[in-house]
Structure 1
Amino acid sequence: LDADVIFIGIFTFAAVRGYQIARYLKKRSRAVIVMGGLHASMNYKEAVRYCDYVLIGEGDETILTFLRALKNKKPMDFPGIAYRWNGKIVYTGYPCPPKNIETIPDRNLVYRYQKMAGHSTIWPQVHASRGCPHNCDYCALVRHFGHKVRTRSPENVVEDIRRSIEFFDKKHFRLTKGLWITDDNFFADREWAKAVLNEIIDSKIRYRFNVQARYEVGFDDEMLDLLKKAGFFELDMGIEFLDDQSFQTYHKKSTRDEIIKSIRNIQKHGLSVRGLFILGSDDQQKGVGDQLAEFVIENHIQGVLIQSMYFVPGTPVYKTHRKSLLHKNWALYNGNVVHHPKNMTAYELQLEHIRASKKIYSVKRLIHALIHEDYIHKVLFFGEFFWHMSVRSDLRKQLPYLKEASRKRQKRIRT
């Protein structure tokens, strides 16, 4: 491959594939191989075995310092890098957060990006802020981006939105046109969020948007009115659990009753809610899958993403549950059960996940959605129906392994 430097970014579930690509390139290219991203940053001792360097943290500014040092053959002694030297790993620590996050990505620079963008189900994405003031035990992003909320100017965000829409919609048919604002906590800085929404309104962009949100935004009528006026149709709410004890255990500042009230007020303002859930907390019991499905149906939640407890190296939940992990095959950290939960077996938890998905995305509910929902939710539910069918198929493939792992653990406990 004709390249001087090749960068590979990885999340935990994609780490194995990333390592395979890095190893393949090392054998066939003289390029310097650099890995980065969330998983590589928090698990650099592992990642550095497959590449020449690991860039730690956000990388916006570190990458330029690194390239200059590499070009001029200068020492790699700046914060934000890890590499091997004389059989040892050199780690210079996490860098300071980038001072300037106003940059707008030029997607034309990415090879064949336009072809990928033409896929009828892919939505453009914009990341408008970084950081979160909360401290949920399972969240890796707060360890990566920090607690301090850093924002782009409203004008910069809207210009990015405008360019993204133009790039994705140009010459391509799309079943649904929408844009996802991917911030982990878009509403952490309330005044800034209002300014962004007003800027979207003033720009007269006519588009569908959705955004991730904590439940508190459901009590902010002014914000909900602005969201609706700006073209937002849905909030992806990190509900996570259904019981108050789990919220306390994992330092998620929520309660079940408050979440229900929030959902109802959001819906009252003409916005739908998509629920993000976690199965496998130490406080959940058998039957949690049925409870989750009933909660979703009773509260008219439009769609769900169900995740078995996610253990990213470097998070508090990874440290406290390390001994209960089944394996470190990162490719299976994609929704599959990867630990022995406290109040049921790993096999039973996987079945709870399958049961919840099957009830929420039943044929009966699909028919109801196709008859009664508006166009956007018809299309979304139809697509998610088949996506969840595929997910359940993948989850079932792991059942024999989980059943045997659970049997062996139960045997050890008895003896």
Structure 2
Amino acid sequence: MVPHFYRKKHERKGNNMDSKGAEKPITKKVAIIQPFANTYVSHRKFSNLITPLKAFTGSNIFVSTTTLHLATLLKKIGCQVRIYNDITEEIDPAHVSEDIVLITIVTSSARRGYEIARLFRDRRVIIGGVHASILPHEALHHADQVVVGECERVLPDLIAGRNKERIIDIKPPADLDEVPHIDYSYLKVPPKIISLQTSRGCPFNCSYCSVSRIFGRRYRFRSPGNVLSELLNYREKYGEIRKIDLRPDADFTCNVERAKEILRRMISEGIIPKSIVANARLEAYKDRELLSLMSQLNFTICIGIESINQNALDEYNKKQRAKDIDEAIRVFHDHNIKVYGYFIFGADCDEPGTLKQYADFINKSDLDIFTVTVLTPYPGTALHNRLVSQRRIFEFNWDYYDSFHVTFKPARMSAYEMQKVFNDFYLETFSLKSCLRPKLLFDIDSLKNQLFISLMTKILNKSFRRYEESLKIQAAEHKRLSWKLGSVDIHSS
């Protein structure tokens, strides 16, 4: 039976009802295809290289939470569903028997998603996901229909063919307590890490982020009881929960009282994993009861530090004070909570030496885990709009919108220089030697994470260096032309 939250009043009678007044199941055959963001190497080579690494870290190897969520929704309404993974198998239309093809894309996988869509011109193709939600008219060139936003409420009508709109903009969004729990039967083995989304939306409007554009400026929550029921159901089916990843939430602690109630109930039910990873804003360190609960549940808190320069934080509209960062990390550590710091390189105030400042700060603050990425002007963000208006974006190939490639003209260095110092920093900071940090040697999970990043960096370094070299060649060519024409080059300072 179709879950009641899918139904609208005007749909409860008519052709979708059987003779007894119950809704007919939608017995369509649907393929969900998860495209590979193929910037670096061929998907087959990438799969062969990364599969053992992902297995070593205990991650769900290649099927995203979004894909599993879609499969669960479709199964609930009666569809026969098969997941095709572009990383682990070749997408050959001759071997895909389903009549409807769903493709969900992020920006870095958009081009590959469109390539796959062209293979299925004889089928009904529906594209959704973050990138399609931001640029639906672009996606529509490659699909019969495009879904903008959250798909739960529209899915039955869409799959049954009752909704024939080309671009389907979904309002209002789903009630999260009525969204089905993920069905892990689509995986060959149960995941070692269970990934949960307990909220959607974000009231903040960081310039580089599109979360509020996709899910709205208001937090929407699952109730503590609903979250606990999913965890209990998982434990009943698959045994003890080893790890929980709450990072699908923009900020698990956004409603502190709700977060504390979830953690209290977990402790009461004896759900105490080896580790829980969650996003949180910096100010979470101020609630001592929350810290105590997190400590009991082996938390790693992922903090968007982004920069230690207040000017950069202000440019990002981060609503965060640089002077609070040190104290927050210290307090988390005092409660035996690990800190995973996210940093961004590329603000207008950043210079080549900024990465050295990050490295010094990371060592001084003794961060457990960290990631540094290149500032990327993703479509739909305030950053993208600003840089387009300033004519500073020179690369619109979505393959390179992955937070590791420079796609715009920085303010205080050339694009080539920014890419080179970033590549140098990454290769040095995440070398295999970095895994010998004393802190990592006594923390097997953090060591695995660092080793995974180190090996990935080594694998992808050639690709990053090729892009760096292309920027160098472009910079030289533009410099030569600008000298001839007396014009200003977008690539050089």
Quote the offset at 1:262 in angstroms: 0.6
1:291 aligned partner: 357
How many residues end up aligned between the 2 structures? 384
Distance 2:429 2:254 in 1: 30
Matched, 1:210 2:286: no
Q: Is the 8 A contact 2:343 2:373 kept in 1?
A: yes
Matched, 1:114 2:220: no
1:17 aligned partner: 112
Residue 254 (structure 2) aligned to one of 169, 185, 188? 188
Q: Is the 8 A contact 2:149 2:169 kept in 1?
A: no
Distance 1:338 1:371 in 2: 34
Q: CA separation of 1:346/1:202 partners in 2, compared to 1, >3 Å: closer, same or farther? A: same
Distance 1:155 1:135 in 2: 29
Residue 333 (structure 1) aligned to one of 401, 406, 421? 401
Which stretch shifts more, 220-229 or 361-370?
361-370
Structure 2, unaligned stretches of length 5 or more?
1-95, 488-493
Q: Is the 8 A contact 1:37 1:56 kept in 2?
A: yes
Distance 2:104 2:168 in 1: 19
Q: Is the 8 A contact 1:138 1:317 kept in 2?
A: yes
Q: CA separation of 1:348/1:294 partners in 2, compared to 1, >3 Å: closer, same or farther? A: same
1:198 aligned partner: 264
Quote the offset at 1:297 in angstroms: 1.5
Q: CA separation of 1:185/1:10 partners in 2, compared to 1, >3 Å: closer, same or farther? A: same
Q: Is the 8 A contact 1:297 1:360 kept in 2?
A: no
Q: 1:142-157 maps to which residues of 2 (within 5 A)? A: 142-157=212-227
Residue 416 (structure 2) aligned to one of 322, 325, 347? 347
Quote the offset at 1:349 in angstroms: 1.1
Residue 137 (structure 2) aligned to one of 24, 45, 48? 45
Quote the offset at 1:401 in angstroms: 1.1
Distance 1:364 1:249 in 2: 35
Distance 1:242 1:22 in 2: 43
Q: 1:222-371 maps to which residues of 2 (within 5 A)? A: 222-229=289-296, 231-322=297-388, 323-334=391-402, 335-369=404-438
Q: Deviations over 1:116-141 (max 9, x none)?
A: x56xxx73311111111111111111
Q: Deviations over 1:13-38 (max 9, x none)?
A: 11112111111122xxx431100011
The one-letter code matched in structure 1 to 2:252 is F
Q: CA separation of 1:51/1:167 partners in 2, compared to 1, >3 Å: closer, same or farther? A: farther
Matched, 1:2 2:67: no
Q: CA separation of 1:98/1:201 partners in 2, compared to 1, >3 Å: closer, same or farther? A: same
Which stretch shifts more, 97-106 or 145-154?
97-106
TM-score (norm: length of structure 2): 0.72
Q: Is the 8 A contact 2:99 2:123 kept in 1?
A: yes
- What secondary structure is seen at the aligned counterpart in 1 of 2:292? helix
Quote the offset at 1:61 in angstroms: 0.8
Q: 1:54-133 maps to which residues of 2 (within 5 A)? A: 54-68=146-160, 70=161, 72=162, 75-76=164-165, 83=166, 91=167, 93-108=169-184, 110=186, 113-114=187-188, 123-133=193-203
The one-letter code matched in structure 2 to 1:39 is H
Q: CA separation of 1:377/1:348 partners in 2, compared to 1, >3 Å: closer, same or farther? A: same
Answer with 1 or 2: which has the greater Rg.
Answer: 2
The one-letter code matched in structure 2 to 1:149 is Y
- What secondary structure is seen at the aligned counterpart in 1 of 2:193? coil
1:86 aligned partner: none
The one-letter code matched in structure 1 to 2:276 is F
- What secondary structure is seen at the aligned counterpart in 2 of 1:319? helix
The one-letter code matched in structure 2 to 1:378 is L
Report sequence identity in percent.
26
Q: CA separation of 1:361/1:100 partners in 2, compared to 1, >3 Å: closer, same or farther? A: closer
Q: Is the 8 A contact 2:369 2:446 kept in 1?
A: no
The one-letter code matched in structure 1 to 2:129 is G
Q: Is the 8 A contact 1:241 1:277 kept in 2?
A: yes
Q: 1:126-141 maps to which residues of 2 (within 5 A)? A: 126-141=196-211
RMSD (Å) for aligned C-alpha atoms: 2.4
Q: CA separation of 1:301/1:406 partners in 2, compared to 1, >3 Å: closer, same or farther? A: farther
Distance 1:124 1:60 in 2: 21
Distance 1:407 1:154 in 2: 58
- What secondary structure is seen at the aligned counterpart in 1 of 2:437? helix
Q: Is the 8 A contact 1:33 1:51 kept in 2?
A: yes
Quote the offset at 1:92 in angstroms: 5.7
Distance 2:418 2:232 in 1: 43
The one-letter code matched in structure 2 to 1:57 is G
Distance 2:435 2:179 in 1: 41
- What secondary structure is seen at the aligned counterpart in 2 of 1:124? strand
The one-letter code matched in structure 2 to 1:268 is D
- What secondary structure is seen at the aligned counterpart in 2 of 1:407? helix
Q: Is the 8 A contact 1:104 1:160 kept in 2?
A: no
The one-letter code matched in structure 2 to 1:104 is P
Residue 219 (structure 1) aligned to one of 282, 286, 298? 286
Quote the offset at 1:373 in angstroms: 2.2
Distance 1:340 1:147 in 2: 30
- What secondary structure is seen at the aligned counterpart in 1 of 2:120? helix
The one-letter code matched in structure 2 to 1:105 is H
Distance 1:205 1:6 in 2: 38
